[in-house]
Chain A
Amino acid sequence: MNDRPINNRAWLFVLPVLVFVLFSSLLPMMTVVNYSFQDTMGQNNFFWNGIAWFQNLLDPSTDIGGRFGNALLRNLIFSLVVLFIEVPLGIAVAICIPRHGWKVGATLVMIALPLLIPWNVVGTIWQIFARADIGLLGAALTRMGIHYNDTQDPTSAWATIVVMDVWHWTGMVALLAYAGLKSIPDAFYQAARIDGAGRWSVFRNIELPKLQKVLVIAVLLRFMESFMIYTEPATVTGGGPGEATSFLSLDLVKIALGQVDLGNAAALSLVYNLITLSICWVFFTVMTQLDQRKDL
């Protein structure tokens, strides 16, 4: 069957990558795994702790378990809200982008600008922008008599973070959707015009089905990134007011670096990682299934 020559020297070429992955991913990961099964009394003395950290984490009646459950819920709600706003909005923006001429470049650059700003800078921009005393947005809202204060009012804090994420990332969905729209041959639009189909029908029966693949990718990317959100809320609200915007990653940092509670933090990061992985796996399966339906 297999009569191709086998050359074991080929492994030499793979070796650098293996070493790199070992130091960049496997060793740090294994350190975390180590912490999650051990406890320490200091002086770098560790002893076996079994699965106690995990039991704690997954038991909502404990302090850490309660925090974990609440933060996970916040993450899921945040991701869903952001997806429900950004994906339809991104498609709508993509449809409005001109298809020909100099306006294309200008529009695309404008849309891509927020994507080019470092994440902590985005956070800082919005922190100032949203301040109720001097921020353009915050002060304007307050002057209009709207009760807004993102450091004291949970609703304001949530709204700020969601709007910031929409501002930051809708552009990416729009760019992906635009690429998808551009790949639809003109003949489809002509055929629809000849058939007498209306704008909505063109969207429903041509554009949306043709965008399906690209949208799966957009949803996957947006989900992953929003589920792991850290920098922006850390800068803008620092997880507050109270625990209102304490997402998993913020909590994790508090536990690991604030409380130096390595066991709990390690267990939390592993479970966090597993959740992200399994959701990605589901998406990946859906994507490859779609791939098999050719020509959509």
Chain B
Amino acid sequence: MSLVLENVGLKSGADTIIDAVSLRFDRGTMNILLGPTLSGKTSLMRLMAGLDKPSSGHVSVHGKDVAKVPVRRRSVAMVYQQFVNYPSLTVYENIASPLRVAGVAKAEIETRVAEAARVLRLEPFLTRLPAQLSGGQQQRTAIARALVKRAELVLLDEPLANLDYKLREELRVELPRLFAESGSILVYATTEPSEALLLGGRTATLWQGGLTQFGDTATVYRQPGNIDSARVFSDPPLNELTVRKHGARAKLPDGRDVSAAWLAPDLPDGEWRLGFRVESAEVDAPDDAAASDASGGTSGRFNGTVAVTEISGSESFVHVDVGFATWVCLVLGVHDWTPGSKVSVRVDPRGVYVFDQAGARVAVAAPQRSAAYATTG
């Protein structure tokens, strides 16, 4: 069993909702659709489920085009961000509802509902109405409804977004395990890079209705194929910088001309877009040499002022205004810089992705960290 999307596009009036997406999901795999709000995750899922018809391209299951197969005849289950259950039916009847519609024998309904209720720990609540449950229990009921159906395609559309932190952590671990035995194709939409990394599997990054990359989650994270993928897969946002390299010098957006020693040595002359994540940006004491970099000397180091510090868990994200951009830097431990204090940002050259003008990633040999830092003096 595999689900194949071939150049699938969706238009609404003059707007392009989905732009020629090609994907292939195999049986028993966890596939993540990662993208910000309005990037087309839900629209793509609706196309996969058959709720909408693509304006162009083909969706095929088992190698057969399913354009003419109505939703109810497809083997699909879906869980939504909102807790969707039938308000007037008990938890038991809710879980049993897809089986009843499918005309499954009574005895089998009972065993399958009991099994799903056991796995999702809903046994004590089977006679209650959804409104009498907590949010987590309501979503577990919705998940049980999807599970009991034993669908070939299970679509999870930000299923944990409306749950509190603790429940999310719990269910995030359980979900892939629950559906793993069924051999279903699992598609999981999320806006959060960290969630994609935790779930593993394969990730498709979406940006403005287009697919920017599809591959093993870790690979997509480490080797973004283009600037959009890198942006989508970065939280806090990707730090960016455009430089014009000419020989051993590089021109910064603010017009300063600095040494290019911190850039990849094999990078040809020209204009390049650079991107690096928080962990490749370190905060350091202000560097006098960086300020007067026009003379040569220091590079890969940018003076700036602290705009704001966000503390998350035991990490601090320091937003530094470097004149031509505001970058986010990661500092381990809880620190609280006074806004306005002078610091410098040291960029780790190994974490810098180089993109061309069109945003495509350019493979370059990263310079040695020691070599770059040697110039820091």
The finding on whether chains A and B are genuine partners in a shared complex, rather than unrelated, reads: yes
User: What residues of chain A have their CB less than 8 Å away from a CB belonging to chain B?
Assistant: 185, 187-188, 190-191, 193-197, 201, 204-206, 208-210, 293-296
Within 8 Å of chain A (Cβ to Cβ): is B78?
yes
A195–B97 touching, CB < 8 Å? yes
Find the A residue at minimum CB distance from B149.
Answer: A195
Find the B residue at minimum CB distance from A187.
Answer: B80
In the bound complex, residues from chain B placing their C-beta under 8 Å from that of A190 are 46, 49, 51, 78, 80
A194–B78 touching, CB < 8 Å? yes
Find the A residue at minimum CB distance from B99.
Answer: A195
B98–A210 touching, CB < 8 Å? no
- Report the minimal beta-carbon distance from B48 to chain A, rounded to whole angstroms: 11
A208–B88 touching, CB < 8 Å? yes
Q: What are 5 A-B pairs with beta-carbon distances under 8 A? A: A187-B80, A190-B51, A194-B78, A195-B145, A296-B87
Find the A residue at minimum CB distance from B76.
Answer: A194
- Report the minimal beta-carbon distance from A107 to chain B, rounded to whole angstroms: 22
Known pairs A190-B46, A197-B101, A295-B130; list 7 more (Cβ under 8 Å): A187-B84, A191-B84, A195-B145, A196-B71, A196-B102, A204-B88, A209-B88
CB neighbors of A among B80-115 (8 A):
80-82, 84, 86-89, 97-98, 101-102
In the bound complex, residues from chain A placing their C-beta under 8 Å from that of B84 are 185, 187-188, 191
In the bound complex, residues from chain A placing their C-beta under 8 Å from that of B131 are 293-296
CB neighbors of A among B22-71 (8 A):
46, 49, 51, 71
- Report the minimal beta-carbon distance from A219 to chain B, rounded to whole angstroms: 18
Q: Report the Cα distance A201→B93, complex, angstroms.
A: 13
Within 8 Å of chain A (Cβ to Cβ): is B118?
no
Known: A191-B78, A191-B80, A296-B131. A196 touches B87 (CB 8 A): no
In the bound complex, residues from chain A placing their C-beta under 8 Å from that of B132 are 293
Q: Report the Cα distance A210→B131, complex, angstroms.
A: 11
Q: Report the Cα distance A172→B46, complex, angstroms.
A: 35
A194–B101 touching, CB < 8 Å? no
- Report the minimal beta-carbon distance from A61 to chain B, rounded to whole angstroms: 49
Nearest first, the 10 A-B pairs at minimum CB distance are A196-B72, A209-B88, A209-B87, A187-B80, A205-B86, A196-B101, A295-B131, A191-B84, A195-B98, A187-B84
In the bound complex, residues from chain A placing their C-beta under 8 Å from that of B130 are 295
Find the B residue at minimum CB distance from A202.
Answer: B86
